[in-house]
Structure 1
Amino acid sequence: MDEVKDKTGVRFVTFNVNGVRTLFQHYPFSRMNNSLKLAFELFQADIVTLQELKIDAKSISKWGKVEGYQSYITISQKRKGYSGVGCWIRTPSEDDPLRHHLKVIKAEEGITGLLRVQANGISYRESSEGIGGYTGLDFADENDLLDIDSEGRCIIIELACNVVIFSTYCPANSSQTEEGELSRLTFLKLLFKRIRNLHGLGKHVVLMGDINVCRDLKDHATALDESSISLSQQKTGSEIEEKFNEKCVQFIMDPSRIGRRLLNTMLCDSIISKYAQEGILVDSTRKIQGRDRLKMYTVWNTLLNTRPVNYGSRVDYIFVSKGLKDNITDGDILTTIMGSDHCPVFADIKVDNLELKHESFNKPKFEAATRYFLNHGNILDMFRKANRKSTSPSTTSTGKVVKPLNVKQYNGMNALASATVSKDQNKNVSIQPQSRVKSAHMKAFEEMLGKAPVCEHGEEAVLRVSKTDKSFGKKFWVCNRSKGEKDDPEASCGFFQWK
């Protein structure tokens, strides 16, 4: 990362890593020996939020103890290894100009304040640990609110410089169910209401993370195509918003995408003037990069491999409340950083003019080292008793004792994951090199499928299987290149042929 950070400013970084373990399988993180500290130093980050950690409680000892950073991690209480958000705050040295500004005075898990500060304890709302701003959040059943907060999607942190940070991973409703959409909209309404409440209390707010909502038509490649807007003919985002204003407004007001409207009601720079007048948040990336920049996407479809031709959408943001608008000094998306279907986003914000609280504060109970006793040995000890039954030797139907794999055996099996295991009639296991198996499979596929047709690029097409109701299971040939804009010569030519 080439951007040099101002020492008197705070660098915020957000990144949906789609599994923190898999992040370190990709360059440059693959050279970091699973060290979050080195990753954060690469970004020159003071405050980092990572979404979709996909870890369980046993893994928090690994990711929650990062030298030089305070760690705050929320994980799903409902589904193991699902969702998960982390926020790490750099701990400055005594001679660091940010040593007071980065001091964490309070921290919460969830949005509503209904979760317990500690097991069997009182809620954040009832505790001195609570940040406040809970008015008007009880518009849904309390059990539903607790369900939303138990998915591991939001962390709220208050700094001594009167800045409240929301680190969040908003639901996407990928299954497109009515129940999922209701839960998603409830989450967004709770999030935006809490932000307005804290802003009304005089707090500066930073909202960072994967919001899973694209705010504008110019930031959504598929929607631009569906609206018959070619980026090669429109040179700037301003031209699109002026020439196709009606389509841009329709995109925001689409009744099937209520999240877009909800997000725009929060934005001071919404193209809808009514929302802009009432909005309280500023899009830091747009503030620095300007309204004209196009193809500023932060997520791409991995199944269609659309990243190489930059055909995606923008759903990852760092928003700041309007009182910090003039404090934004830099910000951008980092498309060259690989390791996920998303890319990181950063923003630099000056804080030297913000009022400081100099009282003595205890470390929040939600801080990972405190909550999970990371300074008192391995967190696995906490779960040993609970898991004793599942990790004890089990007996098969034949009476043979089967011992669980130890760590070394488990890692060894992972190393063999790229090989194919076959069993002969005597049940002896043999490992076949993957290259040999792949060649045999390819030959079998070619014999079964026949010769592939050639697309308009003069290249062999690839075979796909239809998932639509009318032609489910039917095979067809398509161009092997990534989907992109219609007039991009490097993108898919649109070749299609039923098999």
Structure 2
Amino acid sequence: MMNATLKFVSWNVNGLRACVKKGFLDYFQTVDADFFCLQETKLQAGQIMLELGDQYEQYWNYAEKKGYSGTAIFTKHKPFSVWYGLEENTESEGRTITLEYDSFYLVNVYTPNARRDLSRLDLRLQWEERFLNYLTQLNDKKTVIVCGDLNVAHQEIDIKNAKSNIGNSGFTYEERACMTRLQKSGFIDTFRYLYPDRIDAYTWWSYMNKVRERNIGWRIDYFLTSTTLASKIADSRIDTTIMGSDHCPILLEMKDLLA
């Protein structure tokens, strides 16, 4: 039986092996999440052995390409089913994992980057179409919680230097429109739902000198939920003090999820 309040964590670790050397396990144990979702694990099966304790189930989706992409979910709650992809139960770049429970689906995603020169923008927009279709189909069956690095700053409030970044990868009109469309299709950006006007709230910073120190960031990591779950959102926050990656962890607490 699950707890009355469930804690979800999502973190793009930008290479799990490197992140483990920078305190990942200390944070993992301290935060004590029910569900801990990773993106950009950048490893293959057998390249790491995490001792997380008997209470956690581990689910991994590795990219075929070595040292690239990849997702994982560690959970205290064994799911009914696990799905590793969108239309098919496979994903060559290891970008999604879906766990099914009695009253909800949990979808962990690492959205493709359009690249600095926008050479993958068309591929990105095709992905967005497929992902939207996938989520809306799930949402027709039961409620959905989506988390991960969605690689887009949705509104100008979600990026430090909005004007100078318009049209750049992660802040193109096309990518932002996809996020708008997703939300209009029945999903809530939980952070903005609770904190619509909070500024300087970011989840990713460039590795350039002192950029994170000066908080010149982007909010590109999200927890989205079905709109019908709005009343169950207890908190949605950003753990900016946690280092170890160019992203920081984000947390979601849901109450009475099984009610």
Q: Same fold (TM over 0.5)?
A: yes
Q: Which has the higher contact order (CA 8 A, sep 6+)?
A: 2
Q: How does 1:257-296 map to 2 (within 5 A)?
A: 257-267=173-183, 278-288=184-194, 290-296=195-201
Partner of 1:85: 71
CA separation of 1:321 and 1:64: change in aligned 2, threshold 3 A = farther
| 1:214 paired to 2:214 | no
**Given the superposition, is the C-alpha separation of residues 200 and 41 from structure 1 closer, same or farther in structure 2, using an over 3 Å criterion?**
same
Alignment of 1:54-453 (within 5 A): 54-59=42-47, 62-63=49-50, 66-77=53-64, 79-90=65-76, 102-115=77-90, 149-160=91-102, 162-178=103-119, 180-201=120-141, 203-224=142-163, 226=164, 256-267=172-183, 278-288=184-194, 290-354=195-259
Q: Which has the higher strand share?
A: 2
**Aligned-residue offset at 1:51:** 0.9
Structure 2: 5+ residue runs without aligned partners?
none
What's the offset of the Cα at 1:279? Answer: 3.1
Task: Give secondary structure in 2 for the equivalent of 1:221.
Answer: coil
- The 2-side partners of 1:215 and 1:87 are apart by 25
Q: Cα 1:104–1:64, aligned 2, differ >3 Å: closer, same or farther? A: farther
- The SS at the match of 1:63 is coil
Deviations 1:128-163 (A, max 9, x none): xxxxxxxxxxxxxxxxxxxxx200111011012x21
Distance 1:187 1:58 in 2: 29
Q: What is the Cα deviation at residue 308 of structure 1?
A: 0.5
- In structure 2, the CA distance between the partners of 1:114 and 1:59, relative to structure 1 (3 Å rule), is same
Separation in 1 of the partners of 2:209 and 2:114? 20
Q: Is the 8 A contact 1:214 1:260 kept in 2?
A: yes
Cα offsets for 1:405-429 (capped at 9, x unmatched) = xxxxxxxxxxxxxxxxxxxxxxxxx
CA contact (8 A) 1:64 1:72 kept: no
CA gap of 1:284–1:56, structure 2 versus 1, over 3 A, is same
Q: Which of residues 10, 13, 36 is equivalent to 2:9?
A: 13
Change in 2 beyond 3 A, CA 1:279/1:59: same
Paired amino acid for 2:155: D
Q: How far apart are the structure 1 equivalents of 2:182 and 2:151?
A: 15
In structure 2, the partner of 1:46 is 34
The corresponding residue for 1:97 is none
Deviations 1:46-75 (A, max 9, x none): 001111111112225x13875311111011
SS of residue matched to 1:87: strand
Aligned partners of 2:185, 2:192: CA distance in 1, in Å?
Answer: 15
Distance 1:282 1:70 in 2: 28
The alpha-carbon distance between structure 1 residues 351 and 113, as it changes in their structure 2 partners (threshold 3 A), is farther
CA contact (8 A) 2:204 2:246 kept: yes
Equivalent residue of 2:17, what SS?
helix
Q: Partners of 1:153 and 1:63 in 2: how far apart?
A: 20
SS in 2 for 1:258: helix
Q: Give the letter for the 2:237 counterpart.
A: D
Q: Give the distance between the partners of 1:256 and 1:80, measured in 2 at CA.
A: 29
Amino acid at match of 2:12: N
Distance in 2 (CA, whole Å) between partners of 1:217 and 1:81 is 32
Q: What's the secondary structure of 1:320's corresponding residue?
A: strand
Read off the aligned partner of 1:219 and give its amino acid letter. D
Letter in 1 for 2:113: A
Judging changes above 3 Å, is the alpha-carbon distance between structure 1 residues 323 and 301 closer, same or farther for their aligned structure 2 residues?
Answer: same
Letter in structure 2 aligned against 1:51 = Q
Please give the alpha-carbon distance, in whole angstroms, between the structure 1 residues aligned to 2:147 and 2:71. 11
Q: Go from structure 1 to structure 2 and tell me whether the alpha carbon gap of 1:305 and 1:174 turns closer, same or farther (over 3 Å shift).
A: farther
Cα distance change on mapping 1:109 and 1:352 into 2, 3 Å: closer
Relative to 1, partners in 2 of residues 1:75 and 1:353: Cα closer, same or farther, differing over 3 Å?
A: closer
Q: Could you tell me whether the CA contact under 8 Å between 2:83 and 2:89 is conserved in 1?
A: no
TM-score normalised by structure 2 residue count: 0.91
C-alpha distance after superposition, 1:449-470 (max 9, x if no partner): xxxxxxxxxxxxxxxxxxxxxx
Contact (CA 8 Å) 1:64, 1:73: kept in 2 or not? no
Cα distance, 1:13 vs. partner? 0.5
Deviation at 1:175, TM superposition (A): 4.5
Q: Matched residues in 2 for 1:324 and 1:40: separation?
A: 26
Matched AA of 1:176: D
1:353 deviates by 4.4
Tell me which protein shows more helix as a share of its residues: 1
